[in-house]
Structure 1
């Protein structure tokens, strides 16, 4: 991969930043698509070239993908409005894939999510063939639809890999699980199902970064989707790091589907095709987030 051009979208965000850094370390020429001008200096300092623009803009997409052998698509919308979520997670994903196909891209790695599965009150072990979400939470529905849109382009010849990470733990100002959600918990505003007994998968950001690198290298990965998970926690175990009192109670139909899940996610496929072994690092990841010694 050394010397090849890799476009990373959403590069100014939590996941994108770490992926840009690692690909630069791998000796790739990394082109970072960023939304905010102030993010350019930090990315350029770690060796990336930057292109300013929105993934939803045709001109920005085409300029960014031109001459790139690889695309790692991290940009996403967490909007609670389905139309807005679809604009980024479905329409822009499909359009970027079309641009990559036209540009002769060698591989397109798409960062999806385990939230795209049907998770409400689900039990058992979910592998990559589990049903995808079709109604409810805008983020989950739009990410599932984004995968479908990407599959349509892949069927016409674009080599794709889909990664479905669980809760991504790590330190960054825009990290949902490391910065955004902890503030909601500390304010006593996060509702829990059955006192937090529901299950959530997790991984450290370094695991996802490693999965991206291996997805770019492994021929067996093309055309496949992979759960990327280090382990599982109960919601009460996670919220205990940030809560100062009892959190409000909720029923399963009052919260996003992933907050009522009671099963686990299979990692067998990622082990087999990517050689990616999960690591038991919940305690160390939370210590990193909270700054505990």
Structure 2
């Protein structure tokens, strides 16, 4: 990487916490837009307080930067807040970047914009997005400002690793509720992304990918999917999650989840094919593949065991992160 200056939003979040140290260690000058959660300044890191919902705090934020890495988003069911942060906030940031003549703009979005599936090895232009939640609807709307300005949008599906408060907690809750077996033999094929691999992809897109090719939509997933059953076995081995055996029809599994007090949407996340082709990202210098599932889970096992397993109530359903 070169000595660019990159503005990062969401630098203290799940993905941002992996991206900022990576940029810093590569000698990239990082300007972090901080809101709510603090980010410690240090070598190569400048921290600026700001709020995507407050236009006054964004004025001049893109001055003297070479690229914007927009990782911040609101994930929740509040439609007004989704619009204020994800849609209007992104629009304002794109406008600021345009006024400052910034040449690169990379946004972290989510493959949840496609909806519930099934999707099997679909490329970026093969499926019309049909988002089903306030979060994914607003993130799709935000993408349009970035794409309209010639920027890049990365869409991972399920992102896991240290700091994950959505994906593995949701899987754990589902496994604890499914007493009679996995839906349809656990055959659903899923695209997963380890957070370190995603951080490397984002950093490369913001700093080193050829500018003329680093635009449009890119799936940011491992090159090969894993089945739900493979995921269950791997999380049992590395994280101590329940090893659910057996098989049951999809709708019976949904009934079992509801009876256990779980959101049935968990079954749509993990029990239906969500396999996205990430070939395009690899062609522009991104690192779509990264480590395999077993190695990825092993690298983050200590964090998951300490932060997640002691408190079963901490597992909840949520938007895929990229979520």
Q: TM-score range by the shorter chain?
A: 0.7 to 0.9
Q: Does 1:226 align with 2:218?
A: yes
Supply the distance in 2 between the matched residues of 1:199 and 1:25 (Cα, whole angstroms).
Answer: 35
> What is residue 320 of structure 2 aligned with on the other side?
none
Supply the distance in 1 between the matched residues of 2:99 and 2:276 (Cα, whole angstroms).
Answer: 35
> What is residue 39 of structure 2 aligned with on the other side?
40
Supply the distance in 1 between the matched residues of 2:215 and 2:10 (Cα, whole angstroms).
Answer: 23
Q: Secondary structure at the match of 2:52?
A: coil
Work out which of the residue numbers 281, 284, 288 in structure 1 matches 2:299: 288
> What is residue 265 of structure 2 aligned with on the other side?
255
TM-score normalized by the length of structure 1:
0.82
Paired residues of 2:31 and 2:47 also in contact (CA < 8 A): yes
Paired residues of 1:188 and 1:246 also in contact (CA < 8 A): no
Judged with a 3 Å threshold, the aligned counterparts in structure 2 of structure 1 residues 193 and 101 are, in CA distance, closer, same or farther, namely farther
**Farther off after superposition, 236-245 or 258-267:** 236-245
> What is residue 78 of structure 2 aligned with on the other side?
81
Judged with a 3 Å threshold, the aligned counterparts in structure 2 of structure 1 residues 6 and 275 are, in CA distance, closer, same or farther, namely closer
Please state how far the C-alpha of 1:214 moved relative to its aligned partner: 2.4
Q: Write the mapping of 1:88-237 to structure 2, written as runs, cut at 5 A.
A: 88-118=85-115, 120-152=116-148, 154=149, 159-172=150-163, 175-177=165-167, 180-181=169-170, 184-185=173-174, 188=177, 194=184, 196-216=186-206, 217-219=208-210, 220-230=212-222, 231-237=224-230
Work out which of the residue numbers 52, 60, 70 in structure 1 matches 2:49: 52
Q: Does 1:30 align with 2:30?
A: yes
The answer for unaligned runs of 5 or more in structure 2 is 246-251, 256-262, 306-323
Judged with a 3 Å threshold, the aligned counterparts in structure 2 of structure 1 residues 236 and 137 are, in CA distance, closer, same or farther, namely farther
**Farther off after superposition, 4-13 or 192-201:** 192-201
> What is residue 70 of structure 1 aligned with on the other side?
67
TM-align CA RMSD: 3.2
Judged with a 3 Å threshold, the aligned counterparts in structure 2 of structure 1 residues 209 and 243 are, in CA distance, closer, same or farther, namely closer
Q: How many residues are treated as equivalent by the alignment?
A: 281
The answer for unaligned runs of 5 or more in structure 1 is none
Please state how far the C-alpha of 1:210 moved relative to its aligned partner: 1.9
Supply the distance in 2 between the matched residues of 1:187 and 1:258 (Cα, whole angstroms).
Answer: 16
Paired residues of 1:90 and 1:146 also in contact (CA < 8 A): yes
Q: Secondary structure at the match of 2:300?
A: helix
Please state how far the C-alpha of 1:66 moved relative to its aligned partner: 2.5
Please state how far the C-alpha of 1:126 moved relative to its aligned partner: 0.7
Paired residues of 1:271 and 1:277 also in contact (CA < 8 A): yes
Which of the pair has more CA radius of gyration?
2
Paired residues of 1:117 and 1:144 also in contact (CA < 8 A): no
Judged with a 3 Å threshold, the aligned counterparts in structure 2 of structure 1 residues 143 and 24 are, in CA distance, closer, same or farther, namely same
Supply the distance in 2 between the matched residues of 1:9 and 1:62 (Cα, whole angstroms).
Answer: 14
